[in-house]
A = this chain, B = another copy of it.
């Protein structure tokens, strides 16, 4: 499956990180970087224009995150390996990333060799995960606090944690403020807190809202 040279497209919102990845990838035999992007939107466009064989993308990026970009790439017909890099070991994003169609999920704290291993595995149609994440993924699922919540509740929690008041959230979701109040009270009950700040704190801690 490995042909003479595989073309690679890199997406990460920090140029120094892209520079570093490019240097590392080009040192690997059989890989050549043909393009890069600083956010998900640019990644999707770049892939559409340049048809790389392999995509390496960061999870957290401005404009469009790696998971959503992956979804768009797959929807757009891209079938090559997509390797997702993550910053923190965001177990909460793993399932989403796999659901979106990534072939490998590599923590930035790992060595570059693992990334190459992930590329190799992906080329052979396998899914590659960082060892500790693989364990998690196999033993079923990791229940996060947020999984206790319904879609709507997560949505409300997210908006509240972004500093929106009850009325504003209601306006945004086209609901009555009274409904949002009930969702808030249910969130307090489910997350065992009793004020909005603790709620926001959980949203920050669980990565639902960027600090």
| Complex CA distance for A7 and B143, rounded to whole angstroms | 46
State which of A8-16, A45-53, A72-80, A121-129 sits at the interface with chain B.
A8-16
> For chain A, which range describes its interface: under 10, 10 to 19, 20 to 34, or 35 or more residues?
35 or more
| Complex CA distance for A16 and B117, rounded to whole angstroms | 13
Q: Name A's interface SS.
A: helix
Known A23-B23, A197-B196, A211-B211: A16·B111 in contact at CB below 8 Å: yes
User: In A164-211, which residues have CB < 8 Å from any B CB?
Assistant: 165, 193, 195-198, 200-201, 204-205, 211
| Complex CA distance for A15 and B161, rounded to whole angstroms | 32
| Complex CA distance for A94 and B111, rounded to whole angstroms | 29
Known A23-B24, A24-B23, A204-B211: A16·B198 in contact at CB below 8 Å: no
Identical subunits present: 2
| Complex CA distance for A196 and B17, rounded to whole angstroms | 36
Closest to A112 in B: B19
Inter-subunit contact A17/B108 (CB<8 Å): yes
A106 cross-chain contacts in B, Cβ below 8 A: 16
A3 cross-chain contacts in B, Cβ below 8 A: none
Q: Mark A99-141, 1 if CB is under 8 A from B, else 0.
A: 0000000101111100100000000000000000000000000
User: In A147-162, which residues have CB < 8 Å from any B CB?
Assistant: 160-162
A17 cross-chain contacts in B, Cβ below 8 A: 17, 20, 108
Inter-subunit contact B197/A15 (CB<8 Å): no
| Complex CA distance for A196 and B21, rounded to whole angstroms | 41
Q: Chain A residues in contact with chain B, CB under 8 A?
A: 13-17, 19-21, 23-24, 27, 38, 85, 87, 106, 108-112, 115, 160-163, 165, 193, 195-198, 200-201, 204-205, 211
